[in-house]
Amino acid sequence: MARTAQAGAHDRILDAASALFYAHGIGAVGTAQVVEAAGCGKNLLYTHFPSKGDLVAAYLHRFRATREASLEAALAGAGDDPARQLVALVREVADRVAGPSYRGCALRNFLAEAPDVGDAADSVARAYLAAGRDRIATLVARLDVPDPDGLSDRIGLVVEGLYASGPDPRRAELGDAAVALVRDLVKAG
């Protein structure tokens, strides 16, 4: 029986690839593994994703959309106060990193694994990091602080430190410390 572009195949393939990429790293996963995990043929895979690069870009797009929705929900839950929103943003990242299934930020992992590739996946990852910096800068700009750029940089550094703390067995405690630090930074201006 010939395989066709079945309804749901796109998501099934992307789900399988996402699980493999996140668990093992993009470079360690070949299309044959994705085909096996998705239960499809190579032709169907390439119908939906003409290259591994296209599949990686779709994986990163999906990851970015999920992360941004979670961050936006955290900001919305903090009301309109930018100080509370900054603390909520850091709390969201801390909670994510402390989770039992956390294996790093997929976008940061991709950039560490394949720096300066310059393809669509690279653009997705770099745009996500830039949007994160912009989100912090926009919130800090709404505060009455003498050095908004410096405060944005410090909060951004705390966020990056949280992402890097994933392998640490004390990451939950470090997350609490990061939230307290950002609360103090915002108060001090």
Picking from 109, 125, 187, 186, the residue whose alpha carbon sits closest to that of residue 155 is 186
25 touches 113 (CB < 8 A): yes
User: What ranges in 49-119 are assigned the alpha helix state H?
Assistant: 52-77, 82-98, 106-113
- How does pLDDT run across 14-41, given as a tens digit for each residue? 999 999 999 999 999 999 999 999 999 9
Is it the case that residue 116 has pLDDT exceeding 90?
no
Please state, in angstroms and rounded to a whole number, the distance separating the CA atoms of residues 145 and 6: 55
Mean pLDDT, the chain, integer: 94
Q: Give me the pLDDT at residue 114, please.
A: 81
Contact 26, 110 (CB under 8 A): yes
Integer angstrom CA distances of residue 183 from 62, 75, 81, 186: 31, 15, 13, 5
> What pLDDT is recorded for position 189?
82
Residue 112 has pLDDT above 70, yes or no: yes
Domains of the chain: residue spans and CATH: 1-50 (1.10.10.60), 57-188 (1.10.357.10)
State mean pLDDT over 73-91.
98
At 125-152, the pLDDT tens digits run 999 999 999 999 999 999 999 999 999 9
State percent of the chain over pLDDT 90.
92
Distance, CA of 171 to CA of 165 (rounded, Å)? 6
